[in-house]
Amino acid sequence: MKISLGLRTQKPLSRANAWNCLVMNLLVLPGLGTILVGRKIGLVQMLLALIGFISTMAWFVMFIRAWIDTQQFPDALDSSVWIAVGGVFLVAVAWIWALASSLSMIREARR
């Protein structure tokens, strides 16, 4: 059984497909639309977004656990906040990169 991630050879894009990829990249998951068009770079975009999301959520869980353990609102600006800042940065980079990829696909579809 052959499993495909949609990473097929690139074929000409229709405008509708390009716009659908833009929506998928910006509103669902950065890189997903790029992958569905057959561009392997979408895997890197998706990986960055997922790593960023996971690290941000890890910080959030640590924050909530500290709050529950101490029964006080924890100091949000301790050293662990850099985990969240790094995660948000990675998600932002992936989102902007996916936006650039999507705009490139739209320009390609217009030709």
pLDDT, tens digit (0-9, with 9 covering 90-100), for 4-41: 555 555 667 888 999 999 999 999 999 999 999 889 99
Q: How far is CA 75 from CA 47, 68, 71, 81, in A?
A: 30, 13, 12, 10
State residue 66's pLDDT score. Answer: 87
pTM greater than 0.75: yes
* Chain Cα centroid distance, residue 45: 6
**pLDDT digit string, tens, across residues 46-91:** 999 999 999 999 999 988 998 899 888 877 667 788 999 999 999 9
N- to C-terminal Cα distance for the chain?
37
State residue 6's pLDDT score. Answer: 54
Going from N- to C-terminal start, the domains of the chain cover 15-110
Taking 50 as the threshold, does the pLDDT of residue 1 lie above it?
no
Q: What percent of the chain is predicted at pLDDT more than 70?
A: 88
State residue 48's pLDDT score. Answer: 97
Q: Which tokens sit at 25?
A: 């990249």
State residue 110's pLDDT score. Answer: 86
